[in-house]
RNA sequence: GGAGAGAUGGCCGAGUGGUCGAAGGCGCGCGCCUGGAAAGUGCGUAUACCCCAAAAGGGUAUCGAGGGUUCGAAUCCCUCUCUCUCCGCCA
C-alpha cells in the first residue's frame, strides 16, 4: 500500500500518477487526508490524557514512599475519570485507523514514469523480441493433440480425479516437467539466487502481505477448516519471509528462488484460449524474488529481465518482451515486463513470465525495511518474476519443435531429460 | 491427540506490582590507547505513532497476541497463538 506520508506531502502527484492506471483517486485521497487529520487530533488528545494518567501514577507512588498514602485518594479518583475518557478515545482511534487502512489499501501502486498510457493489452509497449518463428511441417498439431498423441499429458484423467484444469503428466511428459524445473532452478542458483522450498499454504496475514487479500480473494483456493490459502504463486511465501523484518543494508539485494506448484481458481472462460495447457488451476513454476535497495531497484529489475531472457534463449523459444501499460498492470506493480513466447501451432503469443518491481508497495504493508549505515530505517523494494511458468513453456516446446517423426528436445534440456526426442523416431 | 514447562531488545540473559524501554553480557558503531592490530578502556546502540517548519527537545504505545484487575502491570488474572519435554499416532 502507498505511504500515508507521500499522500500528505503531494496528493496531486498521487492522483495524477494513478490516472495512468485509469484509477480515479480524487475522492478517496480527499477522504484519506481528512480522516488522517482527525486521526492525528484524536491521537494527540489520547496521548495527553494518558500522559496525565502516568503523571498521577507517579505522584501516587511518591506519596506512598513518603508515607502519605491517605493523600492519594483524590488522585485515584481523577485517574479513574481519565481512564474512562482514554478508553473511549482508544476505541475511536482504533476505528479511525482501521478505516484509514481500508481506504489506503484500495489505492493501487503508482506506475513508474516509463509506464505507457493505455487501457488494454493492445496498448502495451514491445521493448524487445528474439528468435524466429519456426516453420512447422504439414499437419502441425496444437500441443493438446501432441500431448495426447505421445501420451504426455492426460487432461480427461485429471478431470475425472480432480476437475478440469488439473492434468496428469505421464511418462516423458512428467519427465519433461521435472527436467524444466531442475533446469530453471539450476540457472537461478547459478545467477545467485538461493533456493527455497516453501509451504504451499499460507495464513491470512501472508495473503494480505503480498496483496492477494483483500481484493483478489476469489483467485485463491481456501482451506476453510484451518483458514489457510493455497498459494497462487511462490511469491507469496517467499516475499512474506521478510514480513516485519529490518534487514542490514549490506544484505541487499536478497535474491531467492523457489519451485512450487501454484493454485488458481481463475473462475474464467472456456474455449480455445484456455484449451490444453493455456490455463490451468494447478501448475508448476519457478519464481525468483529480490529484496532490493530502493536506490537501485530498477537495475535489479533489468537483471531479472536478462535472467528470464537467458532462459528462453537457452530453450530456443522465440519470444518478445512487453512493458505493460497502466491499464494492464497489476494493482501492486510499479513496472512490469511480460514475456510472451510464440506458440507456433496456435499461432499466438503466450505469456510465460511477468517480472515486476513493486517498489515499496508490498514492503510498506509488510513492514519490510532495512537499516542504512547511518542508522536510518527505510522501506526496501521488492521485485519478483516467473523464471519460468511451465505449462505454456511446455506448450510452445511441443508445438515449435514438432517434426514429422517426433518432438525435438532443446539441447540445453537434454542433460536433464536424458532423451533427445519424444516420439517414434527422427 | 494427552500431560507438563516456557515465550523479555540483533543474540544470550536478569527482573515477579511503583520513573523498567527494561540490569548484566555478547554483538555492532564511534572514540581513546597502539608503529599497526589484539587486549584494555570511554561513549553510544529497539520500533511505531504524535507534537514541533526542521533540528534539538518532548509525549504515547510496545517485554508472544488480545482482554481484565489496579492510582500504577514485563511482573497478578482470563483467552488465544507459538516453542520445548514426555506419552500416543505416523511418511
A4-104 maps to CATH 3.40.50.2300 = no
Distance separating the N- and C-terminal Cα atoms of chain A? 55
| pLDDT at A299 (0 to 100) | 97
- What H or E segment, with its residue span, contains residue A52? helix A26-65
CB A312 within 8 Å of CB A129: no
How high is the pLDDT of residue A424?
67
The answer as to CATH 3.30.420.40 being correct for domain A121-422 is no
Q: Strand B: which positions are within 7 A of a protein CB?
A: 18-19, 46-51, 59-61, 68, 70-72
Task: Identify the pLDDT of residue A266.
Answer: 76
- List CB contacts of A256: < 8 A, sequence separation 6 or more: A193, A194, A195, A196, A238, A241, A288, A289, A290
- Our CA angle for A412, A415, A417, nearest 5°, is 100
Judged by DSSP in three states, A282 sits in: strand
| Complex ipTM more than 0.90, yes or no | no
Residue A285 · residue A234 · CB < 8 Å: yes
Question: Residue length, chain A?
Answer: 426
- Which grid cell is A264? 488458481
Please answer whether residues A353 and A389 qualify as being in contact, where contact means their C-beta atoms are separated by less than 8 angstroms: yes
CA of A228 to C1' of B3 (A): 29
Distance A373 CA to B33 C1' (A): 26
Q: Give residue limits of the domains in chain A.
A: 4-104, 121-422
Distance A54 CA to B43 C1' (A): 31
> What percent of chain A is helix, strand and coil (3-state, nearest 5)?
45, 20, 30
DSSP assignment, residue A71?
G
Neighbours of A22 (CB within 10 A): 13
User: Taking the model in full, what pTM does it have?
Assistant: 0.91
CB A6 within 7 Å, strand B: no
pLDDT on residue A156: 93
**Residues lower than pLDDT 50 in chain A:** 426
pLDDT digits (tens, 9 = 90+) for A38-76: 999 999 999 999 999 998 988 888 887 777 767 777 888
Closest nt to residue A37, judged CA to C1': B50
- Write out the DSSP string of A181-219: HHHHHHHHHHTTPEEE---SEE-HHHHHHTT-TTTTGGG
Report the distance separating Cα A93 and Cα A245, nearest Å. 26
Residue among A255, A194, A247, A242 nearest A362 (CA): A242
* Separation of A373 CA and B60 C1' (Å): 28
pLDDT at A269: 58
Amino acid at each position: 500500500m502507498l505511504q500515508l506520508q507521500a499522500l500528505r506531502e503531494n496528493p496531486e502527484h498521487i492522483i495524477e500518477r494513478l490516472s495512468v492506471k485509469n484509477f480515479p483517486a480524487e475522492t478517496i485521497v480527499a477522504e484519506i487526508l481528512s480522516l488522517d487529520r482527525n486521526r492525528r487530533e484524536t491521537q494527540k488528545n489520547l496521548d495527553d490524557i494518558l500522559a496525565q494518567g502516568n503523571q498521577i501514577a507517579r505522584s501516587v507512588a511518591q506519596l506512598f514512599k513518603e508515607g502519605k498514602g491517605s493523600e492519594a485518594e483524590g488522585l485515584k479518583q481523577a485517574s479513574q475519570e481519565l481512564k474512562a475518557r482514554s478508553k473511549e478515545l482508544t476505541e475511536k482511534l482504533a476505528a479511525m485507523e482501521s478505516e484509514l487502512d481500508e481506504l489506503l489499501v484500495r489505492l493501487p501502486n503508482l506506475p513508474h514514469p516509463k509506464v505507457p498510457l493505455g487501457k488494454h493489452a493492445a496498448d502495451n509497449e514491445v521493448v524487445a523480441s528474439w528468435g524466429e518463428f519456426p516453420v512447422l511441417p504439414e499437419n502441425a498439431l496444437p500441443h493438446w493433440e501432441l500431448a495426447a498423441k505421445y501420451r504426455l499429458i492426460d487432461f480427461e484423467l485429471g478431470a475425472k480425479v480432480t476437475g478440469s484444469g488439473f492434468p496428469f503428466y505421464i511418462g516423458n511428459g512428467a519427465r519433461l516437467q521435472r527436467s524444466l524445473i531442475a533446469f530453471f532452478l539450476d540457472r537461478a542458483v547459478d545467477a545467485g539466487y538461493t533456493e527455497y522450498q516453501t509451504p504451499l499454504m499460507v495464513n491470512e496475514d501472508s495473503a494480505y502481505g503480498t496483496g492477494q487479500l483483500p481484493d483478489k480473494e476469489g483467485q485463491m483456493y481456501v482451506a476453510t477448516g484451518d483458514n489457510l490459502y493455497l498459494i497462487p504463486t511462490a511469491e507469496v511465501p517467499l516475499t512474506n519471509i521478510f514480513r516485519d523484518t529490518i534487514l542490514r543494508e549490506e544484505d541487499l539485494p536478497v535474491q531467492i528462488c523457489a519451485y512450487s506448484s501454484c493454485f488458481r481458481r481463475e473462475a474464467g472462460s472456456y474455449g480455445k484460449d484456455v484449451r490444453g495447457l493455456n490455463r490451468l488451476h494447478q501448475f508448476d513454476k519457478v519464481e525468483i524474488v529480490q529484496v532490493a535497495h530502493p536506490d537501485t531497484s530498477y537495475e535489479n529489475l533489468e537483471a531479472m529481465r536478462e535472467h528470464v531472457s537467458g532462459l528462453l534463449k537457452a530453450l530456443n523459444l522465440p519470444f518478445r518482451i512487453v512493458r505493460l501499460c497502466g491499464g494492464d498492470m497489476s494493482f501492486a506493480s510499479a513496472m512490469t515486463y511480460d514475456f510472451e513466447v510464440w506458440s507456433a501451432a496456435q499461432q499466438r503469443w503466450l505469456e510465460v513470465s511477468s517480472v515486476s518491481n513493486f517498489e515499496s508497495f508490498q514492503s510498506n504493508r509488510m513492514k519490510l525495511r532495512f537499516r542504512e549505515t547511518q542508522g536510518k530505517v527505510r522501506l526496501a523494494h521488492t521485485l519478483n518474476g516467473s523464471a519460468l511458468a511451465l505449462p505454456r513453456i511446455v506448450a510452445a516446446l511441443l508445438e515449435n519443435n514438432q517434426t514429422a517423426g517426433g518432438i525435438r528436445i532443446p539441447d540445453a534440456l537434454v542433460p536433464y531429460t536424458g532423451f533427445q526426442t519424444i516420439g517414434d523416431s527422427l
